[in-house]
Copies of this chain bind each other. A is one copy, B any other.
Amino acid sequence: MLNCSSRTAEAVLWDYRITFAAKFNTMSLLIVGTMAFDALETPFGKVDKIIGGSATYAAWAASNFTQPIKQVSIVGGDFPDSEINELKARGVAFEGVEVVPDGKSFFWSGRYHLDMNTRDTLVTELNVLAQFDPKLPDSYQDSGFVMLGNLAPAVQISVINQLQKRPKLIIMDTMNFWMDVAMDELKQALKMVDLLMVNDSEARQLSGEHSIVKAAKKIQAMGPKYLIIKKGEHGALLFYGDQIFSAPALPLEDVFDPTGAGDTFAGGFIGYLTRINDISFESMKAAVIIGSAMASYCVEKFGPNRLKELTAEDIDNRVKEFIALSNFEIR
């Protein structure tokens, strides 16, 4: 009998609470990325100014699994104290977040198409991000797990070079823009990380291959042993050597706002791995499911609003939905 069963009946609720996690957490998580404002237009509505940025979403997601989190970012004097205090209360350290009092925070504005898979960028104002040259505080040197959000590859490289001890796991995100304007630096960064996380069209652009399997092989040959290719409503693929894991996406009636889903996925993924302090392929598979569960919540409301209200039970329930979704037994 080939069997893939969930044993949900006998399952003890997995305890996501930080009090529990803290017991076996010996390493901390470093997150580098943007903290920003977004203006968003989706078929469901419009917001003129909402908190955004890759490091914001990642920290909200990851802090369900591991604390403290060492945040590295840059904001202007316009970034609300209330948002910073909410994250501090979740165990997010701000020593590495530069505040430029008379500067403005990074601003992005976009409009999603009806299918929610494509979007137009309306405005990109770099503001303080243009001068982002992160300096790692000494207190961040104990980071065993590192997430480099989508940033200029030169910034990602600079952070890696400042780490005195090689972390257990470095993951990075990137986007098509950097392939267009900074491919050489991007390739250099790829040689320095363990895992790259991109969407399917970015994987195709980076590799020049249409077949996702061929694209994955080429990208793995560029440096990262692990590769995650995100396919939106079609889930995600994790590649390691010749092994592949396919995670479903939760079929949703409506995707309210896809902004930050990828960063939330990344935060859930690496937050879980930091918590269990393990980077085996088996653990990464579970982490992809955790990341997918977090992302499926993220898209339910504008910005990080849904993430802010999640309980441990919510997360447990969503993870169980993923198990039910992919669980089968062949007799």
Contacts and interface: CB of A to CB of B under 8 A. Distances in A.
B319 A330 contact: yes
A330 B14 contact: yes
Contacts of A288: 328
A330 B14 CA distance: 9
Prevailing SS type, chain A contact patch? mixed
Interface stretch (A1-9, A85-93, A156-164, A177-185): A1-9
Interface stretch (A54-62, A168-176, A209-217, A306-314): A209-217
A12 B330 CA distance: 12
A12 B1 contact: yes
A11 B6 contact: no
A5 B1 CA distance: 13
Contacts of A130: none
Contacts of A245: 325-326, 328
Contacts of A252: 211, 213
Given A1-B11, A2-B14, A210-B114, A330 B244 contact: no
Interface stretch (A25-33, A98-106, A230-238): A230-238
6 contacts: A2-B11, A3-B5, A3-B11, A234-B235, A246-B326, A288-B328
A214 B2 contact: no
A329 interface: yes
A276 interface: yes
A290 B211 contact: no
A186 B84 CA distance: 58
Interface in A294-331: 319-320, 323-331
Contacts of A2: 6-8, 11, 14, 319-320, 323
B5 A5 contact: yes
The 5 tightest CB contacts between A and B, nearest first, are: A246-B248, A234-B234, A285-B328, A286-B330, A213-B253
Contacts of A7: 1-3
**Which among A2, A212, A216, A248 has the highest number of chain B CB atoms within 10 Å?**
A2
A115 B328 contact: no
Given A2-B320, A6-B4, A286 B329 contact: yes
A248 B4 CA distance: 14
B211 A4 contact: no
A251 B276 contact: no
